[in-house]
Amino acid sequence: MVEDEVPKILYHCSIALSRGHFRGTRTAAKVLLARFFWPTLFKDAYAYVKSCDGCQRVGNITNKNKMPRINNIEAELFNVWGIDVLDPFPPLFGHKYILVAVDYMSNGVEAKAYPTNDAKVVMKFL
């Protein structure tokens, strides 16, 4: 590897491709992921990060930079249901309709075949 290519590779792996300034270890890992290697890779990556003004200004993430915590909406199982009657199918044992109920919280599915699709059938199913 030619010596003048090292800063170019470190620039592209540290700033250009990833759109961020990282520490030396992270920059060296990105160089390895790009399938480049030379014996002084980690030493060169640390030296590059120390000389980069943008990498020095970023610093560590503190609690001040984190997103505020918000409460999640609590929902219990069987709170959110979806019920649908599938259109008539060719009759099989006298049943033409399929009633499907889905619990969106647990992704549980219930399906049963019925001869009609009226309110009595849905109430019986529930």
Mean pLDDT per 10-residue segment, the chain (126 residues): 79 70 80 87 88 71 62 67 81 85 81 85 79
Specify if 31 maps to a domain.
Answer: yes
Structural domain that includes position 86:
81-125
Residue found by looking up tokens 């160089």 in the block: 31
Q: Which runs of E-coded beta strand occur in the chain?
A: 81-86, 97-103, 108-114
**Total count of domains within the chain:** 2
**What is the rounded (10 degree) CA torsion for 119, 124, 125, 126?**
90
Q: What is the pTM of this model?
A: 0.43
Q: Would you call 109 helix, strand, or coil by DSSP? A: strand
- Contact between 101 and 80 under an 8 Å Cβ cutoff? The reply is no
Q: Are 53 and 87 in a shared domain?
A: no
Q: Are 85 and 43 in a shared domain?
A: no
Q: Are 56 and 104 in a shared domain?
A: no
Q: Are 88 and 50 in a shared domain?
A: no
